[in-house]
A = this chain, B = another copy of it.
């Protein structure tokens, strides 16, 4: 839905607002990339993200995906809030691993918009700690589309999230 020419159109004010989300700060969810209709977020899973089974809490994985959804849907001109979401929990993850969520807009009208979000485990463990989010992040940034599902350079799919938002 977003042409390459629109990539630079997130205003500094919008970006700053989206990146200063209090709940994401509490959890440690970071925005890695942001364009109108597209966003990537990351969460390094720590002990505090675990549930009583000792595995990452569904609420932590959900928040990572929901943050990508919220960022993608508010990076343009519109202010949008969630109406409906759903998640499939597909693969296991563990404390110590890094999860990345890529949200992309699949449909938008004046009233509502739909976003698909794919949450993957990061395969690489070295180069993203610096926070520059390049290289493999760029690879991950393009894997919201199903075409990359077999791409060996991306990590295992942990969850699929779909969200519908409306314009306020």
Contact with B along A67-88 (1 / 0, CB 8 A): 1001000100001011111111
Is the Cβ of B83 less than 8 Å from the Cβ of A85?
Answer: no
Is the Cβ of B146 less than 8 Å from the Cβ of A116?
Answer: yes
Question: Within 8 Å of chain B (Cβ to Cβ): is A128?
Answer: no
Is the Cβ of B62 less than 8 Å from the Cβ of A48?
Answer: no
This chain's copy number in the assembly: 4
Is the Cβ of B57 less than 8 Å from the Cβ of A160?
Answer: no
Contact status of A157 and B107, CB under 8 A, knowing A1-B150, A88-B114: yes
Task: Identify A60's interface contact among B18, B23, B70, B79, CB under 8 A.
Answer: B23
Is the Cβ of B164 less than 8 Å from the Cβ of A162?
Answer: no
Is the Cβ of B70 less than 8 Å from the Cβ of A66?
Answer: no
Closest CB-CB distance, A29 to chain B, in whole Å? 8
